[in-house]
Chain A
């Protein structure tokens, strides 16, 4: 039987839409409907991702680098991770906060690849983004939200000239101004 994570990933990568998720028995769901599972470890995730990579290596359906890129651009549904949330930060804007005690070495969350940028023509410069730059969107990103310009605009903004030392409130990093034209501007 496929591991809980493996089924959905195979569906995503093959484009079949196959969703093989572990289902909680009805009786258990009724007893604890609000309790999201939270026992995923980084070791378990590594083993399951290794199985996916091995599967595609054996099948020869996709080159390994394409498998890796697709997995980087995938959000896996219903991971058993529920130990952090986003909230207002005293440092600036929003931040990430633990919702329970987390031990040293413990997995907290994953960095999503809603867009994967391939700097095939070299990294961005003050002149802009090289023409050879590519963008891969995750399968979970709807077509109407796949805004290449917005994704690369962000990358270009990241190279905004540094302010002079006398500037009253310089920022080292720029912000995402928007993700798609359809969405409202939101800063962090």
Chain B
């Protein structure tokens, strides 16, 4: 993955997925709602933002057979906790 925006994730350099934010009811396909752990305060602090984002994340994206994109827990997540993805 080389880049990610709020409802789009890049799978390869030439292909990206866009999730419809209106579709929020199927727990099998909610990956597009995962937030970054931190908010980027300034583009000039991007390195710090990315380091904090990685440190506080608890999930990541992985490809499944090249034909589905999964959100996988990178550490234990308690019930009620927010699923957080690191910055790309």
Contact = CB atoms under 8 A, between A and B. Distances in A.
Interface of A: 36, 40, 42, 45-46, 49-50, 52-53, 67-69, 71-72, 75-76, 79, 81-86, 89-120, 123, 141, 145, 151, 154-155, 158, 162-163, 165, 167, 170-176, 179, 183, 186, 188
B54 to A, nearest CB: 15
A8 B55 CA distance: 39
Interface of B: 5-9, 11, 13-24, 26-44, 46, 49, 59, 61-62, 64-84
B88 to A, nearest CB: 10
Which of the listed residues A79, A111, A119, A162 has the most CB atoms from chain B within 10 Å of its own CB? A111
Contacts of A141: 20
B15 A179 contact: no
Contact of B28 (A90, A109, A145, A163): A109
A86 B9 CA distance: 18
B15 A116 contact: yes
A109 B64 contact: no
A119 B84 CA distance: 27
Contacts of B23: 112, 114
A42 B72 CA distance: 9
A110 B29 contact: yes
B8 to A, nearest CB: 7
Contacts of B9: 111
Given A95-B83, A102-B73, A83 B27 contact: yes
B69 A113 contact: yes
Contacts of B5: 154, 158, 173-174
24 contacts: A46-B64, A71-B67, A71-B68, A72-B15, A75-B26, A86-B33, A89-B82, A92-B35, A97-B82, A101-B78, A107-B70, A107-B73, A108-B72, A110-B28, A110-B68, A111-B32, A114-B20, A116-B16, A119-B13, A119-B15, A154-B18, A155-B18, A162-B43, A175-B7
